[in-house]
Structure 1
Amino acid sequence: MNPSVVCTGLATLLLLGACAAPLDLDEGAYRSRSYAPAEGRAAVDTEPELKLDAAPLEGLNLQRARDLALVRNHTVKAAAAAVEAARARIAEARAAFLPTVSGRIQRSVNEKVTTVSIPGGGSFSLSPSYETTGSAQLAISLFAFGRDVEAVKAARAELTTQILDERFVRQQLLFEVTQAWYRLHESHAQVQVAQDAVVSSARQLEDAKNIVKAGRATRDTELTAKVEWLARRQDMIIANNAVIHAQRILNVLLVREVDAVVTLGAAPDFQKVTIDANQLVSLGRRHSPTLVAFRSRRIALEHHRESIERSFAPEIVGAVNQSYSNFREATGYSTNLQATIAAEWTPVNGGRRIGQLQEIHANLVQLREQELQAHQDLELDVRRLLLDIAETESAVELAREAIVAAEENFRIISDRFRRGKVTAREQLEAQTTLSNARFAFNQSRFGHRTLIASLEAQIGVASDDWAIFEGATGKGDGK
């Protein structure tokens, strides 16, 4: 065969394969500006090593905590690795458009000496024989009726799904960090309430002792005050343990030593928020990574189905093959160069393709139903969170008024107790009422911000774009 013809054939095969390659995926449309991944990827270690930060964190504000979590958290890194794996599967699907090169070499040895007898003509011997054969082949799919193109499109849709899954993981992490940060603030505030209650109950115990000594009350008054003081000390221990646990949760999310020291920056003041429920639901339906991922999964299945359907058609394959044989006992060696174009067709493969198509159809129906249910769940969750936000805002206002009233009531009751006008039980009830009001205020105040963070995670859009805080000049200014 003429070598120039072979070279021309190879160039034609490579050109056809390159022209069939699809365009790159534009990932920008599927990434959120608020949750863009950090630049650069860490090298994969042969053996995982847990590296934890033990340095003290002082004045940690919420934004800094979020940034640290996004950079360090192992769940986010695992999600980013899944995206890289999906991107590699696109390259794997594109390989169908590129040529494949294969080779084979074989050495055959027959060491047996064979004697052949010819009746009436004597005999002769066959000496050991040696044979070496080799071949190399370059092959490429010239035309597969769009089957491989659909496979690449399916891989690109799967990459989109992985990007959305990564975004969901990042949003959930941001919510958990926000929740942990405010919970630690709340725990510190509750410790202060518990400390004040211990100091107040200790003062009441001293007053009770003085009253009993002066003969204005019986011994049971002092004992009741002592029991209350001991109970408040136990509350103090519980509050301190809550701080320790909240700090540990935050440290774990930031990939730090579990008992590393953390001091927080100031929490934002409580502000009421105005939110348009219909706008929020609409944003969630367009931007929620969970809902958008349903669409990308459906697109991937549709392209996969199309790829299987196109596999019923024949595939045109081109190949160039060169073989080599060496016979030491014979003439030496021989070579053969061959170029072929063939149509390969498998119209029936035992019903496997039919089964795959039926499975894909069922999966598409399942995805559609799940997507419709997710739309309803999103609206239900958003409206429930809005009710909870309104409830916490009301609770904060009521707790403020309750604190003012409880402080005045406690002052009056304490003064009357010192003069022996009321019992110890009445004074303890006044103290408990004041402590409960302060506990409720702290819980509602910090829970309000946590609920807003939960809305961010639900709809996939930062509150800067949909929340108007009381006294702010624009959306999101309350942060």
Structure 2
Amino acid sequence: MRMLLYSMILWLIPANLVAATLSLDDCLARARNHNPALRVTRKDVGIAHESIRQTDAALFPRIDAQGGYTAQLEAQAMKVAGQVMETQQPAYLFASLGINYTLYDFGRREARRSSSRLNLDALTFGLRNQEQEVSLHVVESYFGILETQRNITAAAEELQTVEEHRRVAQALYDAGSVTRNDLLQAEVRLANARQQLLARRNLLENQYLMLGFLTGIPVAEHPQLAEPTPPVQPHTVPDRSKAIRRRPDLLALRKVVEMSEQGVRESQSAFYPELFSRLSLDYLENNKLREQTIYGATVGIKINLFDGFASTATRSKSVAAQSRATEQLRLAKEQAQLEIDTSANDLQVAFERIAVTKESIRQGEENLRINQNRYKERVGTATEVLDAQTLLTQARTEHYRALYDYQRAAARLRKATGDL
């Protein structure tokens, strides 16, 4: 009987679904390497590295050079004692070389450098958090496939039972022992069972497509997935305070708060002067002058006196951004605590449901056997047999859901504690 059922399931599942076996760890590893969303985030991390180089450039002097050729209609001249004297050639070459360096800007430069490094840290933690999000989706897709495969098995068993009941009803109807209503009931229920089986096969195909998208598995491949080890005892909940301290999304938000603090520091430095130095070389072709090349060195100070209150608005904006980042971090901590608690509750309930639904299957099988025997002996009705089969299928479906809800809840708890 079991070999016949197994052969039927293999026939119902497309041939391309039978492939190499993959474990959950294999799928998670493939997702980390091939998931398109993670590839995009890694590009953001690379951009942040270049932003650090960009802000570090302020530690070095700036060297500018320019040159060109100018042609005028007339040479520039001046009047001296009623005489006109040319002071410049009508056409000339010019060139200049300047080296500028900021000596001190009251922390503006360091604030920008610190902000760029904190941004890199935030994006790195954000990448880790997104890896955990993708891993959770992979886990849900993985166990969704296994649950659907189990439900296909249950639907195939129901189909086989209904077909057997229809055969018995046909025999009794041919013998004149039952009315045609019993036979019609069996045929309607048989059609419904086939429809449910087709719907679950379609769901399985879509779930494989989603797993392929998450992990980079080619669409044509439908690997066989390894079953998890059944739980024997409830999952222990880790220390919540330690879990919150190591969650990557919270670590990223802490870096955002530190970035906002550096933003306030940078905005405040706009109210202070800047000390600078400059070395220059200027060449101007002019045969009217003795010195055509001028060398110079400058040490100076500059400060903005009025910018239409732009600096004041920038500082107020930075302070508001810091306050918002702090509140966002506080909210994320509370949400993390809620996520840990709800995941732990779901895990405990799923573990208890496994034992309850397992017993329901045993009772459903016995109930179906009794009603089948009663119907064959003509002391029961066809409705009782079909209802018993429906109850058994529901019990099996709930059992499979409890099994994989436990695995999904365990993954959510690991993600909530930053361990996925």
CA distance in 2, matches of 1:175, 1:126: 79
Q: Does structure 1 residue 166 correspond to structure 2 residue 127?
A: yes
CA 1:207–1:320 in structure 2 vs 1: closer, same or farther (change >3 Å)?
Answer: same
How far residue 173 of structure 1 moved from its aligned partner, in angstroms, is 0.7
Q: Which has the higher helix share?
A: 2
Instruction: Report the equivalent of 1:365.
Output: 323
CA 1:98–1:143 in structure 2 vs 1: closer, same or farther (change >3 Å)?
Answer: same
Aligned to 1:342, what secondary structure does the other structure show? strand
Aligned to 2:292, what secondary structure does the other structure show? strand
Gaps of 5+ in 2: 1-15, 77-82
More off after superposition, 74-83 vs 401-410: 74-83
TM-score by length of 2: 0.89
Instruction: Report the equivalent of 1:148.
Output: 109
More off after superposition, 283-292 vs 178-187: 283-292
Q: Does structure 1 residue 222 correspond to structure 2 residue 180?
A: no
More off after superposition, 143-152 vs 255-264: 255-264
How far residue 427 of structure 1 moved from its aligned partner, in angstroms, is 0.3
Of 323, 343, 350, which residue of structure 2 is paired with 1:392?
350
Cα deviation, 1:85-140, whole Å, max 9, x if unaligned, reads 112211111111101110121321124699xxxxxx9x999998211111011111
CA distance in 1, matches of 2:19, 2:57: 49
TM-score by length of 1: 0.79
Aligned to 1:338, what secondary structure does the other structure show? strand
How far residue 198 of structure 1 moved from its aligned partner, in angstroms, is 0.6
Q: Is the 8 A contact 1:133 1:326 kept in 2?
A: yes
Instruction: Report the equivalent of 1:307.
Output: 266
CA distance in 1, matches of 2:42, 2:310: 34
Q: Does structure 1 residue 90 correspond to structure 2 residue 38?
A: no
How far residue 409 of structure 1 moved from its aligned partner, in angstroms, is 1.1
Aligned to 1:133, what secondary structure does the other structure show? strand
CA 1:142–1:186 in structure 2 vs 1: closer, same or farther (change >3 Å)?
Answer: same
CA distance in 2, matches of 1:384, 1:144: 51
Q: Is the 8 A contact 1:211 1:420 kept in 2?
A: no
CA 1:56–1:312 in structure 2 vs 1: closer, same or farther (change >3 Å)?
Answer: farther
Question: Which amino acid in 1 is paired with 2:252?
Answer: A
CA distance in 1, matches of 2:121, 2:338: 27
User: What pairs with 1:267-346 in structure 2 (closer than 5 Å)?
Assistant: 267-276=228-237, 279-327=238-286, 330=288, 334-346=292-304
CA distance in 2, matches of 1:350, 1:183: 60
Instruction: Report the equivalent of 2:21.
Output: 59
Question: Which amino acid in 2 is paired with 1:72?
Answer: H
How far residue 358 of structure 1 moved from its aligned partner, in angstroms, is 0.7
Q: Equivalent pairs: percent with the same residue?
A: 20
Instruction: Report the equivalent of 1:476.
Output: none
Aligned to 1:420, what secondary structure does the other structure show? coil
Instruction: Report the equivalent of 1:354.
Output: 312
Instruction: Report the equivalent of 1:242.
Output: 203
Instruction: Report the equivalent of 1:450.
Output: 408
CA 1:261–1:411 in structure 2 vs 1: closer, same or farther (change >3 Å)?
Answer: same
Q: Is the 8 A contact 1:112 1:127 kept in 2?
A: no
Aligned to 2:26, what secondary structure does the other structure show? helix
How far residue 451 of structure 1 moved from its aligned partner, in angstroms, is 1.1
How far residue 310 of structure 1 moved from its aligned partner, in angstroms, is 2.3
Q: Is the 8 A contact 1:208 1:221 kept in 2?
A: yes
Aligned to 1:375, what secondary structure does the other structure show? helix
Aligned to 1:145, what secondary structure does the other structure show? coil
Instruction: Report the equivalent of 2:366.
Output: 408
CA distance in 1, matches of 2:235, 2:278: 68
Question: Which amino acid in 2 is paired with 1:435?
Answer: T
Q: Is the 8 A contact 2:17 2:223 kept in 1?
A: no
Aligned to 2:285, what secondary structure does the other structure show? strand
